[in-house]
Amino acid sequence: MTRTSLLTGAGLVVSIATTGGLHGQLRPVPSSPDSPIVIPRLSGEIELDGVVDEAAWDEIAPVEMTMYTPNFGGPPTEATEVRIAHDDRYLYVSGRMWDSEPDGIRTGTLYRDQYSGDDILSLVIDSYNDYQTAVWFTVNPSGVRQDRTMSNDAEFTNGMPMNWDWNSYWDVVTTQTDEGWFAEFRIPFSTLGFQATGGEVTMGVIIYRVVARKNERQTFPPIEPSWGRLGFAKPSRAQRVILRDVQQSAPVYMTPFSVAGFKQTPVLAEPPDVPRAEWRSERDPTAEAGIDIKYSPTSNLALDLTLNTDFAQVEADDQQINLTRFALFFPEKRQFFQERASTFDFNTGGMFNRLFHSRRIGLDAGEIVRIYGGARAVGRWAGTDFGFLSMQIAPHHDLSSENVGVVRLRQQVVDDFSSVGAMLTTRLGSAGRNNTAYGLDAVLRWLDNEYVVLQWAHTFDEAAVQGGGVESGLARARFERRRDDGFSYYAEGIRVGADYLPGLGFQLRKDFTYGGAQLRYRQLRDEASPLVSRAVQVGTAQYFRNADRTTESREVKPEIEFEFRDGSNLTVGTLSSFESVRDPFPIADAVIPVGEYWFHEATAMLRLPRSDLFRGEFDASVGSFYDGSRISLSLAPVWVVSKHLELEAGYEVNRLDFADRGVGTTAQLGRLRVKTALNPRVSMSGFGQYNSATDQTSLNVRFRYHFREGTDLWIVYNEGFHNERDDGLGPRRPLSSGRALLVKYSHAVAR
């Protein structure tokens, strides 16, 4: 008989006697919503081999897992033992995922940062204890890692809160037997970041396991499925834990890199240089070197430095069909901008509008612009989140070199869920094109789940004649209920002036006043029902021109949503839209003329369970469209052929008919993404896209050999193709519109 420690909900350590054995020897630790749980120190060495057979593990009580889906609160159908501990430098987690049908354990992929219907074990850690952000670590039975971040307490009010593009330094090893699968995590405190008070660190922790074939998710602590789509990973619902006498090491990760390759571009040579016009190929070899440095001098500060920054390995953007008269938004994927990226969030309404969008740095209309170098710092101190960014951009075309800078501050006030903040962005260059913007914002919880968001932003642009005052500013107020059971709502008002020009931001429209609202009722069903929930909602949005107060756009959108226990989701609804068009604009091969239009369509969306080997999302709509009609179909199937091969296809077609004008056009977008992996270190992806609306076809192929975190070999091939080669004005264009082959090697060294 041995003496072991069981943590109580009050955070005390109680010594109890237990017998030996690996499975079920200690009573599980229940969650404690009202007080933190003390995480014990390891009593012995842990060999990180995924076997989970060390005596030190058996001296720690497992946490108590609760079924989240498909039947909340029901007993888990498969036993799970997860233990959490620490030493001076690392947080350790072990998992014994017992399984009564070991042949049913699913590894969907060997491709890094990919979820393919796998069984998984995940940790969501609110390391700064701010109830808003978290880092997220996941592993499948074959040891394939995913890491990402969470922001805005998993709410979608500021756009997508989950960032898959973040990567960091941590270790995990797994094994699998005829009893189940097993995992051991080791996460450096330098990766987590934290604030210590009196020798203690408080964090929030969520642990969950997915049994894919059953669509079963188990969580610790128990989280009601009433907190929205990502409620199971919501930082404010995490169990608070205490770690004592931890010491963050301060390694310096230096990652020098080298890039070599060539670009080949067709150029039309014309007389008098040549006897007759003909296409020739210009070859541009390239060889570059640079370095990235990551350093955390304290537990609550992270520094990133870069010199001659290169993003050759970044995957290609998904092309889009634009059926509006506004610009398209593309997300940030470059790794340098990912560390606590949510610190720089300043959403100004909708999914995309923001005071700062890092893709405005080093990219111009999709073309890469050299970055000489820069520095970035993010951290948290005494309830204040802070961020700083400065980068120097090389001259480009007729633009001279410029410096871009961002400063962001956000302070918690009143409680853990409320904050006030400020942001300053600058874009400074020669030739009279300086731009400065500042913003003030507040997020205040005024009742249990009721929030108000208030914002003001103002810009100064040297190249524009600005009226100043409200005409150079943006004001926003939003009221909402952040809980997705029973009634929920939001109501929002925004005014954007004609001279509001955020030089480092993204703004779809300008010079308008907006009013929008949504009322939603979601009913959770009992376990006898095939449904997890059903919901009905109606939303409306109206845009008015500031100049004459006339309506520019208006919509009303009622929907019904059904969430099934197998993980699938069906949404049906209608959309009624009004558009006042004062300037004609093109859509594919058609032009929308000046006029005022009401049009209506029926919509449907089916999303198959993410845990299925064949999954995907399928959308359809039919109805009137401006002065004509539209039929739209979008198919996005994913087929997991094996853990070595996954196929992801996409096809979107929009048939537009304007019968009264005798005009019709079809806009098509096709995608095929092939992901292959020999093992978790060796992988290759191919991504081909066809867009008839922009007359573009492209191919992106990326090979990666991942030696270890920060040390990689990339071989990247890009090529574009002309869809139409004969324009009747000159010699036939070549098939290729340009190609590039680049090899990049980066080697991280920790000191």
Averaged pLDDT for residues 448-465: 91
List the structure tokens of 653.
Answer: 């077609």
Spatial CA neighbour of 418 closest among 379, 390, 457, 453 = 453
Q: Amino acid identity of 386?
A: F
Helix H or strand E encompassing 212: none
Please give the Cα distance from 655 to 343 (Å, whole number): 42
Cβ atoms within 10 Å of 2's Cβ, excluding its own: 12
Give domain limits for the chain: 2-244, 258-281+678-751, 300-510, 516-672
Cβ atoms within 10 Å of 125's Cβ, excluding its own: 26
What confidence tier does 360 reach under pLDDT thresholds 50, 70, 90? Answer: confident
Do 605 and 635 touch, CB atoms closer than 8 A?
no
Residue 215, phi-psi category: left (phi > 0), alpha (psi -120 to 50), beta (remainder)? left
Task: Pick the most confident of 144-158, 229-243, 386-400.
Answer: 229-243
What confidence tier does 13 reach under pLDDT thresholds 50, 70, 90? Answer: very low
pLDDT at residue 334, as a whole number: 80
Least reliable range by pLDDT among 220-229, 394-403, 707-716: 394-403
Above 60 in pLDDT, residue 728?
A: yes
pLDDT at residue 431, as a whole number: 64
Above 70 in pLDDT, residue 457?
A: yes
Percent of the chain with pLDDT over 70: 94
What is the SS3 assignment for 725? coil
Q: Amino acid identity of 307?
A: L
pLDDT at residue 17, as a whole number: 31
**pTM (2 d.p.):** 0.84
Residue-wise pLDDT for 548-563, tens only, equals 999 999 999 999 999 9
List the structure tokens of 648.
Answer: 């992801």
pLDDT at residue 9, as a whole number: 36
Burial classification of residue 50, based on how many CB atoms lie within 10 Å of its CB (0-12 exposed, 13-18 middle, 19 or more buried): buried
What confidence tier does 25 reach under pLDDT thresholds 50, 70, 90? Answer: low
Residue-wise pLDDT for 384-416, tens only, equals 999 999 999 888 877 788 899 999 999 999 888
Residue-wise pLDDT for 563-602, tens only, equals 999 889 999 999 999 999 999 998 888 899 999 999 999 9
pLDDT at residue 430, as a whole number: 63
Do 683 and 111 touch, CB atoms closer than 8 A?
yes
Please give the Cα distance from 307 to 555 (Å, whole number): 48
Q: Amino acid identity of 743?
A: V
Do 132 and 411 touch, CB atoms closer than 8 A?
no
Residue 569: φ, ψ to 5° = -145, 135
Residue 56: φ, ψ to 5° = -60, -35
Please give the Cα distance from 630 to 620 (Å, whole number): 11
In 151-238, where do the E strands start and end? 162-163, 171-177, 180-188, 196-197, 200-211, 216-220
Which sign, positive or negative, has the C-alpha torsion 535, 151, 201, 171? positive
Pairing of strands 216-220, 196-197: unpaired
Above 50 in pLDDT, residue 2?
A: no
pLDDT at residue 118, as a whole number: 93
Above 80 in pLDDT, residue 493?
A: yes
DSSP letters of 367-417? Answer: EE--EEEEEEEEEEETTEEEEEEEEEEPPBTTB--EEEEEEEEEEE-SSTT
pLDDT at residue 679, as a whole number: 92
Please give the Cα distance from 347 to 507 (Å, whole number): 10
What confidence tier does 725 reach under pLDDT thresholds 50, 70, 90? Answer: confident
Which residues pair with residue 629 across a beta bridge? 624, 657
Cα-Cα-Cα-Cα torsion 54, 58, 59, 64, nearest 10 degrees, comes to 140
pLDDT at residue 366, as a whole number: 67
Residue-wise pLDDT for 62-71, tens only, equals 999 999 989 8
Above 80 in pLDDT, residue 248?
A: no
Do 113 and 144 touch, CB atoms closer than 8 A?
no
What confidence tier does 6 reach under pLDDT thresholds 50, 70, 90? Answer: very low
Above 80 in pLDDT, residue 147?
A: yes
On average, the pLDDT of the chain sits at 88
Residue-wise pLDDT for 497-549, tens only, equals 999 999 999 998 989 999 999 999 999 998 889 999 999 999 999 999 999 99
Spatial CA neighbour of 481 closest among 440, 519, 516 = 519
Pairing of strands 37-38, 239-244: parallel
Residue-wise pLDDT for 116-136, tens only, equals 989 999 999 999 999 999 999
Helix H or strand E encompassing 56: helix 55-58
Convert 63-79 to b/e letters by CB count within 10 Å (16 or more is b).
bbbbbbbbbbeeebebb
List the structure tokens of 189.
Answer: 């405190």
Averaged pLDDT for residues 332-347: 84
Averaged pLDDT for residues 469-489: 92
CATH of domain 2-244: 2.60.40.1190
Helix, strand, coil in percent for the chain, rounding step 5 = 5, 55, 40
Residue-wise pLDDT for 179-223, tens only, equals 999 999 999 988 888 888 878 899 999 999 999 999 999 999 999
